Amino acid sequence: MSLSIENISLPPNVCELLKDLRVYAREEVGIYVSDRRLVKAARLLKISAATHGRTQVDLVDCLILQHILWQKPEQRETIREWLWDNLTPGSSANVVDQTSMLLKNLSNELMELVKSTSGDVSGDRGARKPELEAISSIHNELRQLKLLLQDHVSALIRHVSLVKSLGDHLWIGNDEASSAKQHLLPIANESLLSAKDTFRDIISIQVSLSDTIEDEVRLSALESITDIDSSEMRFSDREMALSLKEAKKQFKGETLKQWKRARKELQ
């Protein structure tokens, strides 16, 4: 082993997954995971990362948890499916969905401000101080969102690379790696595409506020950027009657998320 496990970090997203899995195992599967067992699981994840020459545990390492956190053989598949659904970075926190929603709200607020200033964002054409301060505040929030999405995109790119190389993972069998890759890669790629799209929207809105855009066309530029079809998919009665397991087989990525949201609204 090239690295000591004491030097392997357990990043926040892995800690969060361990916490969520522990709750799921107890409340949904009836498996009690003690503190001692959880510490052993975390140590095993660090060993997995170390044997691959990595300095931190990655979410793909958590696939091995399906072999150690069950009490009855039939529980293993349930744990595995939960892991498959939660291994994509940002999936538990809905990072892209939350960022997109916040960006939409900021964009709507910004367009109202730009309308009231006739496109003036510098004060050179008489925009009032409260409006300019509000625009500046939104500009700062956009910078924070950009940094957040930049980190998220980087995490997804790393995750996609690791999923693609699952066949080389020393702790995961070939058949298991193939099945996991088949399930995880489409979700990861779709999440990455959505994150990149949202990232580009943030940059475009920032550009629309720059002095490279004339005041007279600033509002039109903003409207063209934010005029995005964000409508939810419509599902048939038959699709809404599917069980979660059946839906996972039929839908992937964002489509599955929208199906879950639609089902939740019916409850």
The arithmetic mean of pLDDT across residues 231-250, rounded, is 74
Q: Tell me which of 66-70, 73-77, 125-129, 229-233 is least confident.
A: 229-233
HSE of 18, CA atoms in CB hemisphere, 13 A? 25
Where does the pLDDT of residue 267 fall: very low under 50, low under 70, confident under 90, or very high at 90 and above?
low
Residue 133, burial from CB neighbour count under 10 angstroms (0-12, 13-18, 19+): exposed
Give me the pLDDT at residue 201, please. Answer: 94
What is the average pLDDT across 177-199?
94
Mean pLDDT of the chain: 89
Residue pair 26/33 in contact (Cβ under 8 Å)? The answer is yes
How many C-beta atoms surround the C-beta of residue 199 within 10 A?
19
Residue 233's pLDDT is: 63
**Predicted confidence (pLDDT) at residue 229 exceeds the cutoff of 50:** no
Select the more confidently predicted residue: 260 or 187: 187
- Higher-confidence residue of 243 and 45: namely 45
Measuring CA to CA, which residue among 61, 39, 36 is closest to residue 50? Answer: 61
Nearest by Cα to 183 from 94, 254, 77, 84? 84
pTM to 2 decimal places: 0.81
DSSP class of 56: B
User: Quick one: what percent of the chain has pLDDT higher than 90?
Assistant: 70
pLDDT of residue 245 exceeding 60:
yes
Q: Is the pLDDT of residue 228 over 50?
A: no
Q: Over the range 56-83, which residues count as b (16 or more CB within 10 Å of their CB) and which as e?
A: ebbbbbbbbbbeebbeeeebeebbbebb
Look at the chain and count its residues: 267
pLDDT digit string, tens, across residues 132-167: 999 999 999 999 999 999 999 999 999 999 999 999
Q: Which residue has the higher pLDDT, 212 or 263?
A: 212
